[in-house]
Amino acid sequence: MTVMQTTAATSGPNATRTDICSAPPRRHPRPDGQDRYTISEVVAFTGLTAHTLRWYERIGLMSHIDRSHTGQRRYTNRDLDWLDFVGKLRMTGMPVADMVRYAELVREGESTYAQRQELLAATRRDVLTRIAELQDTLAVLDRKISFYADADRVREAERTR
């Protein structure tokens, strides 16, 4: 059975004073400066639907998105990073309401660092629990699968007996 390792990351002193802390090693479709993506581009990049993107904005999961002169949304690289992170949180099973709460903390600024840290730490604990549960499930599946494999072997033996 393969086993993955979690890399503990360091965020150096170059961490900028931005909403989205600690720049991820992600490559953006276009460099900063030319990052004014239409909603359909973001759909293509993220796999989310346009409905979902607009809905995220309505419920406050994304802060106000830039608009073109005709009122169309123009997403930035930073928005993509945030969507990336939201995707991670979604995978942990965190309810959308909690993500909105985190987004609000981000909008409130640096004074909420401690609360954000605690929220993420709690999430981290949940994730560890989830992983352990899944490992457990994996063991059960392996047991059952090998039961069926054995049954197959036995039948084969009987057939060629």
Nearer to DNA, 77 or 99 (CB): 99
Considering only residues 137 through 156, tell me which ones interact with its own copies, judged by CB under 8 A: 137-152
Q: How many residues bind its own copies (CB under 8 A)?
A: 54
DSSP string for residues in 71-117 = S-B-B-HHHHHHHHHHHHHHHTT--HHHHHHHHHHHHH-GGGHHHHH
Eight-class DSSP state of 125? H
CA atoms within 13 A on the CB side of 127: 13
In angstroms, give the least distance from the CB of 130 to its own copies. 6
In angstroms, give the least distance from the CB of 60 to DNA. 12
Give the alpha-carbon dihedral of 18, 22, 25, 28, to 10 degrees: -10
Considering only residues 51 through 110, tell me which ones interact with its own copies, judged by CB under 8 A: 85, 88-89, 91-92, 110
Q: Which part of the chain contacts its own copies (CB under 8 A), choosing from 6-14, 27-35, 43-51, 56-64?
A: 6-14
Nearer to DNA, 90 or 144 (CB): 90
